[in-house]
Structure 1
């Protein structure tokens, strides 16, 4: 079956522009034996009929093996060669980094809001006549609890509808409810609005890393991921600094209103800078254009290289499978389980630190909210400096290890730099001095960034679902740790309590990192979802 003349040119089809409207569900599947970082997608496949896939190229190795493999009425839509300008990997550096910065801004503003009210907790307690310390901490932590729930749905949705509509829509949802927090008239309203705002703000944590996986090749991904993964750690550290001065010079309500204004600005910028990057969705738009131009005589099935069949699928079933995928990964994938457990502990510790700083410097040192906020600078310095070191070294180390491995890159190459974080991570008992906060921040960012990059490269096609599964565990910890912190510190004291936490971190982290570095490739080989293809050099 031939394409209409208006659509056929050099065995390809006309390109469709990358739109910004919410697309119809693409119902995409990863083809058998295919992965986004394999040569198939990065080198490109010319758009041809499925029955031509073997004849023209002389081999069936590049063609996905599906039930339509020998159906001459099926058109397979793929990238137009290795230099297809619509393939996100071939976009200009300026365009890719503009999107990366926009995604990082989305990822920064939400965690910033999670802790901005910490220095104003006393004002909120006085305003609503709250005397229970647990309830005060709940109004802060409830935001992070939503981080556990949101990605489980939003991550898979980004794999169905695309990254852009999920990120934009959820940021708008976050902005609206965060604005509502400033108008809350009771403690219950504040807690409810904070939870809803957290749901919207969780989208970048689920889909942001997947966007970078769409845009950057593995050997280019380190700097972009360093920027992105810094945002959810640096945001909570900067939040109390800004929130403390706002609360001291105005009211706690302006803490929410100011972040909503900032989120609104980012939303407007994102309209112009954030473009869809998920390959299956982009090719599905291309396939829709072909279907629309096929005449009745040439009617046939059209599918993309990411779909196993051109037959009509049950949308409800596919949606259910996509939503269940994070839970499936949590149960079936040891990589997700190990990193989820450790990152849960890391994220719990950082929120433990963030919520105990106001208590320490207000009750012991009698600082004002504005001065209390300044003590977060040490944590921020540690996060920023080590993030910059990581961004410089990560890609360099990855490329050298790839060269030693015969030009084949492995996700395990991302794990060596994690060892550098342990010297700082084990000093978490120095919680009171600001130098201790810097060491804590440095150790955490090195661990966090390395693990996030590993997850994206190990589960590129399902990166959003894998990140959602990991985010669930770490957000539960970030919600729960600050709630039990007062009782723990009152009973054990800061030195003993944090030494115990450091020991637990060591016991969890070292086996996970060393085990995956040694046996990670074998574990991925047994996985149903992880990337089994070596990331070889490809022509760009």
Structure 2
């Protein structure tokens, strides 16, 4: 495959809005928005599917996430009940969840490679079936060793829900609409455990905690059957060669006023129909030393850290004096995170896409991946306030409504951080986004694993109030890294251009 590396420009910088109406490329319904990536002429190209079909497949993918989540994370509100029934210490139950997160990430070294090479559908079906069977076993766990073994094996099967779903979404949606659907994925990923928590408390009180897993298995088994018959394969490779010849004469009006010789650094993912071309795809994670990927992992890890702490401490706080909530009432309290996540999803999703288009129109039509990072100002302000309200409020025994508001604020940052991380990697390095997401998840879940082990002794040594004050302060520092990437992100991408495009060309990576 021969191409001029220098002509491809900065990875992630694309011409999203055709301000002057001069680009000879496909647009969105006659609008000035450029379709990125450009669809092929092949009717089997998922980008060519009808809106109705795309939405149907997207909903099935969201149901897949829901099924995976209820199988693995629905037990969080009843860990104290499990401790009383089995004698397994709470510290072990929490650390078992940490092990779960660790295997969520590292097993994607296997699953993601299979999904990117052999198709998304078979990997998702096999792993969902494996999770469903292991969920029945989880309801019968009686010892420390059995609990850890179950968490490890379930973690091995859960992986594709963490990385492959995002790839499927990017298979069927264009860049200007991708963010909204990624945010819906994140919404489902985070709200399912909390929503299921509302039901699990009542199930545990009436039927025993084991039935949480049995009912989850029945629901997921039903979803598996639906997916088997209706989920279509979204696997489709498109050539990474960019038709820059059409864009060589595109100029920036503002730049021309200062220097008529300056060219706009752009690229458009465009293709004539070359789907017959076959290439061998290889995964070289060790070569993906791009700052955007590390930043995505750190940001997503930040979210999982707070999510782990919330799940591990909420039941302990609410079941103790002065609240003394039963398991079913604790489950109802889980509605407050759902409200927060819903608000955060709205801010991170459709508004993020609209803001990126607005920024492109205000400039010279270019979309930079950093445009969506500005939304980090919201969690930078809300995260510490929510932590202080919940932590200090619990420490001082304020009314539970105050705790609910604090928890909603903390959880509203989850979809914002996760959507920022996922979109930034996909937008920056689309051709290797599948591998980049695996790297991100490994970083993210390693952080989650560490917090899973640390949270119980941290809580015992510091107390609820100090714990939440500390994570509020830590969160401010971590959320602030988004603004460093706003300043330096494009420079990092530009510096990686030669390495990146050589990697794409050498190993035959394609936009997928």
> Is the Cα contact below 8 Å between 1:176 and 1:260 reproduced in 2?
yes
Structure 2 vs 1, CA of residues 136 and 225 (structure 1 numbering), >3 Å: closer, same or farther?
Answer: closer
Q: Which has the higher contact order (CA 8 A, sep 6+)?
A: 2
Aligned counterparts of 1:443 and 1:183: Cα–Cα separation in 2? 35
Alignment-derived partner of residue 487 in structure 2: 518
Report whether the alignment pairs 1:443 with 2:413.
Answer: yes
Residue from 20, 43, 58 that aligns with 1:100: 58
Matches within 5 A, 1:493-504: 493-504=463-474
Structure 2 vs 1, CA of residues 360 and 231 (structure 1 numbering), >3 Å: closer, same or farther?
Answer: same
Alignment-derived partner of residue 417 in structure 1: 375
Aligned counterparts of 2:99 and 2:377: Cα–Cα separation in 1? 33
Aligned counterparts of 1:402 and 1:494: Cα–Cα separation in 2? 45
Which structure has the bigger radius of gyration? 1
Measured against aligned partners, the alpha-carbon deviations of 1:322-377 in whole angstroms (never above 9, x if no partner) come to 2xx33442xx1111112212321221111111111111111222211111111211
Count of residues paired in the alignment: 434
Aligned counterparts of 1:193 and 1:111: Cα–Cα separation in 2? 15
Alignment-derived partner of residue 150 in structure 2: 193
Matches within 5 A, 1:47-58: none
Alignment-derived partner of residue 277 in structure 1: 234
Query: Equivalent residue of 2:324, what SS?
Result: coil
Structure 1: runs of 5+ lacking an equivalent = 1-28, 45-78, 284-302, 534-540
Aligned counterparts of 1:80 and 1:211: Cα–Cα separation in 2? 17
Matches within 5 A, 1:105-254: 105-130=63-88, 132-254=89-211
> Is the Cα contact below 8 Å between 2:14 and 2:366 reproduced in 1?
no
Structure 2 vs 1, CA of residues 281 and 201 (structure 1 numbering), >3 Å: closer, same or farther?
Answer: farther
Alignment-derived partner of residue 430 in structure 2: 460
Aligned counterparts of 1:401 and 1:122: Cα–Cα separation in 2? 49
Query: Equivalent residue of 1:280, what SS?
Result: coil
Q: CA deviation at 1:278?
A: 2.5
Alignment-derived partner of residue 264 in structure 2: none
Question: What's the TM-score once normalised by structure 1's chain length?
Answer: 0.73
Alignment-derived partner of residue 471 in structure 1: 441
Question: What's the TM-score once normalised by structure 2's chain length?
Answer: 0.77
Query: Equivalent residue of 1:183, what SS?
Result: coil
Alignment-derived partner of residue 260 in structure 2: none
Residue from 375, 399, 410 that aligns with 2:333: 375
Q: Structure 1 or 2: larger helix share?
A: 2
Residue from 326, 332, 336 that aligns with 2:285: 326
Cα RMSD, aligned residues only: 3.1
Structure 2: runs of 5+ lacking an equivalent = 16-23, 27-36, 241-273, 395-402, 505-512
Aligned counterparts of 1:341 and 1:491: Cα–Cα separation in 2? 26
Q: CA deviation at 1:247?
A: 0.9
Aligned counterparts of 1:269 and 1:495: Cα–Cα separation in 2? 46
Structure 2 vs 1, CA of residues 167 and 326 (structure 1 numbering), >3 Å: closer, same or farther?
Answer: farther
Aligned counterparts of 2:93 and 2:39: Cα–Cα separation in 1? 57
Alignment-derived partner of residue 89 in structure 1: 47
Query: Equivalent residue of 2:64, what SS?
Result: helix
Structure 2 vs 1, CA of residues 108 and 455 (structure 1 numbering), >3 Å: closer, same or farther?
Answer: farther
